[in-house]
Structure 1
């Protein structure tokens, strides 16, 4: 198996991939325009920020899996990968610690005016009287918008600083809301009304929930509140935020932007950064050594499980439930050609097998098989299968 690593992975991770018997090609600076030719003969592609376009996937005949060394699909054309039968996997939660640490750092920087102090000191200006309005964190309330891996870590760190914590959305039943020591809100604006500080994070289910920080949400915040955005760029209405900052004296920190530069280094302008009380960082939340090592370890686990056991970890493009409406449940002898004979009867009936599963009993003399079908098989097809000498039992079940 040839593995193309089109991102920065630690040498130890590259060595572990090679130890699996794979041919590892490391090209961390590969450009998107070069990807099509680079994918010739590649079975597994590992990327981070690189765009994997539909045409690159279409031409990669040997490609079996694309791994995003980060959370979510990144810049991978997932629908096209699905159509080509290529797995798309990712590394969820591996950057969570790094993002939570930056979140807390930005909260502190907004409250204590750290950036303004640093810039003034570099310029030789004494501004101590102007930045003496810090409120401190103890006894105040933090609202975590996006209760997932990052949100939980932010809440734990905030509570250590003496902050009360609100969160949205509420977790599902049995997910330990009470153990987290968090008060959950039913609506984002309920959280806004009760919080002195709001942090915005991505959601675990990767669902696009649209704009969450809009004009109404911002109007619900207390005057002088702080807002830290390290989540999905589209979650915040940038125009409404820019208008609300001076009017409501908000302190804001933003780490994600639409659009971001596609080349490095590059010059770009962020209008929010020109407003007073605003800190803009350049999507640095996941960029720590700890996060890189954790993501690389998860990449190695994904490749190991795929090559050794044929299992796909953290897959983003498999259906949770196939379109099958009927299922054959069979007990058969564990003999050569049994499954082929059954599938031939199904094929002759003009029916597609959506999913096939099999487990072998101890002693390897018999097996339990399931075949999920997109239509109900005819009586003739069922009788043909029952008549096969190595079929011990057949049952037809409706999929509900």
Structure 2
């Protein structure tokens, strides 16, 4: 097994992976250089952070079977192409949640107290207490969380300590006990959240459905004087519309992500924070703490260890979530050829297997196979299986609708 690591990754994690197989560490690779590196190394597993993984890259190494995103978002990986090639794509959800939540609160506090502007004036020798000695204060304000995943929940924990009232909206009902535990009220939709919030903080992944989720219409709906915090992914917010709203004096904003942001660690980047004073911004560093880096490294190692040892991929993001219509449960003696015979019988019926697991009982005498599919085999096929000398029981189950 060869693991190609195409982004920065802690030495401790590389050392553990090195015990599983060969590790090639190439953190300097760009998206354009990645296909050649994959072709050269013939990597079985690829680990990336922000590097774009294109269909060309995925096709460059025939043995490639797993791509691990050392972070949460997978929008930089062509998951559709990976699925067509039978390549697993996995991520590390929640491992950087605290780091992003801390930056979110930092941006909220910095904007309220105008910390950046005051610091810059002091660095230039200007004492301006009369200007910066005014702030609204956070206590009693309403913070609206767009999305309620792990990052938003960590923000809620910290926001409560500052006396903020908390709202959230999501595409699905959130468990009442989860809302109660975090002191959050779920509102009907995004519009209701924008209407009621003094501060709006965005915590949803980027997707085609979420492109410009906070667009010109949504920005116009926010309260005059409100603040927008964006630490999720570039493209969820319409940067141009936001810049216009801030420039007009209607809103303030704190951003960690941008549309069209550079993929590398250092680059020239003309952005909306450059000429808009009421936008505070950081260069996509939300997840960049030592604590988050260590947690993500440990999770990447766990994913790869499980895949190598047992073929199980934790947090796979490109699997078919469709529930099979039927499952066949076969208890059988643990002998060579029994499973092959079952699969051959299904093949003769032209039944396409969608999933399969086989569990061995203590002592190694018997096992239980569960096979799922869309089309039910005939009664004759099931009877042939029951008549097999090494098969103990056969049960066909239909999925509940």
TM over 0.5: yes
The alpha-carbon deviation at position 371 of structure 1 amounts to: 2.2
In 2, Cα distance between the equivalents of 1:150 and 1:207? 21
What CA RMSD, in Å, does the superposition of the two structures yield over aligned residues?
Answer: 2.3
1:133-282 pair list within 5 angstroms:
133-169=134-170, 172-173=174-175, 175-203=177-205, 208-282=209-283
Partners of 1:113 and 1:38 in 2: how far apart?
A: 46
Alpha-carbon distance change, 214 to 32 in structure 1, aligned in 2, over 3 angstroms: closer
What residue in structure 2 maps to residue 50 of structure 1? 51
> Which segment drifts farther, 255-264 or 239-248?
239-248
CA distance in structure 1 between the partners assigned to 2:185 and 2:97 by the alignment: 21
Assess if the C-alpha contact under 8 Å between 2:228 and 2:254 holds in 1: yes
What is the deviation of 1:313? 0.9
Contact 1:147 1:171 in 2 (8 A): no
State the alpha-carbon separation in 2 of the partners of residues 192 and 374 from structure 1.
44
For residue 178 of structure 1, give the secondary structure of its aligned residue in structure 2. helix
Residues 277-332 of structure 1: per-residue CA shift (max 9 Å, x gap): 1212211211111111111111111112222333211111112235x443322222
Aligned-pair CA distance for 1:55: 1.7
In the alignment, structure 1 residue 363 sits paired with structure 2 residue 353? no
Residue 24 of structure 1 aligns with which residue? 23
| Mapped contact 1:273–1:279 kept (Cα < 8 A) | no
Alignment check: 8 A CA contact 2:326 2:373 kept: yes
Partner of 2:306: 305
Structure 1 residues 141, 304: CA separation in 2 closer, same or farther (over 3 Å shift)?
same
1:34 aligns with: 33
Q: Secondary structure at the match of 1:135?
A: coil
Aligned 8 A contact 1:90 1:314 in 2:
yes
Q: How many residues align?
A: 397
CA distance in 1, matches of 2:216, 2:64: 45
Secondary structure of the residue aligned to 1:273 is coil
Q: How many angstroms does 1:210 deviate by?
A: 4.0
3-state SS in 2 of match to 1:17: helix
How many Å separate the matches in 1 of 2:363 and 2:146? 54
**TM-score normalised according to structure 1 size:** 0.91
Contact 1:96/1:286 (<8 A) preserved = yes
Structure 2: runs of 5+ lacking an equivalent: none
Higher mean C-alpha deviation, range 263-272 or range 50-59: 263-272
> Does the CA-based 8 Å contact 1:327-1:399 persist in structure 2?
yes
Q: Which runs of 4+ in 1 moved over 6 A?
A: none
1:349 paired residue number: 349
Residue 8 of structure 2: aligned partner = 8
- 1:122 corresponds in structure 2 to 123
Determine the C-alpha separation between the residues in 2 that align with 1:246 and 1:64. 48
Give distance in 2, aligned partners of 1:34 and 1:201: 31
TM-score with structure 2 setting the length: 0.91
Corresponding residue SS for 2:33: helix
Mapped pair 1:68 → 2:103: no
Instruction: Tell me the alpha carbon deviations over residues 97-138 of structure 1, each in whole angstroms, 9 at most, x when there is no partner.
Output: 111111111111111111111222233344433333311112
1:171, 1:177 within 8 Å by CA — same for their partners in 2?
no
**Corresponding residue number in structure 2 for 1:87:** 88
In 1, Cα distance between the equivalents of 2:184 and 2:82? 39
Q: Which residue of 2 aligns with 1:317?
A: 318
The more displaced of 251-260 and 301-310 is 301-310
Give the superposition deviation at 1:263.
4.4
